[in-house]
Amino acid sequence: MLIVQADSREQRNEEVLRYFDSVGQKYVISKLYAGDYCNLNHPTILVDLKKDVLEVINNVTKDHDRFKDEIRRANEDMNCKLVVLIREPLSSLEDIKIYKVPVFGKWYKDKEKRGKPRSAMNTETLYKIMKTMQDKYNLEWQFCTRDDAGKRIIEILGE
């Protein structure tokens, strides 16, 4: 039986836990060494849930060392595969190449940024970074809609 372990430090998981409750998925909340979710009884896959592509951009640029440390902990220390589940309605990693970076809204406090992309990173470059990380590490990028995150976590951990 699948029992999901959810990291107690995960802050954006209310809707995921509500989904687990709605379908009767058992889970425990406690600190995880790497990732945000795992199968408590068979921890060979870890799921690291990302809010959106902008969070991934931050992880592979500004927080690159911290992100690489998490991948290392999953791979080397825990002997687990890390699945990075990104809440974006994309089909595959290839879709990153054509992803449109969101812009700052018309009500954003800094008038100079309004209407401009929230990241200067070229999505072709982002794709190459993500593809290299996938090939180099025991890492897989997957995507889901915001509403499907809980369902996808159960599917991934039940594989």
- Determine the pLDDT at residue 159: 67
Q: Could you state, in order of their start, the residue ranges of all structural domains in the chain?
A: 44-157
To the question of domain 44-157 being in CATH 3.40.50, the answer is yes
- Determine the pLDDT at residue 15: 92
**pLDDT for 29-84, tens place per residue?**
999 999 999 999 888 999 999 999 999 999 999 999 999 999 999 999 999 999 99
What span, in angstroms and rounded, lies between the C-alpha atoms of 143 and 69? Answer: 22
Report the DSSP beta bridge partners of residue 140: 83
Q: How many CB atoms lie under 10 A from the CB of residue 36? A: 22
- Check if the beta carbon of residue 54 is closer than 8 Å to that of residue 87: no
Give the global pTM: 0.93
- With a CB cutoff of 8 Å and minimum separation 6, the contacts of 92 are 143
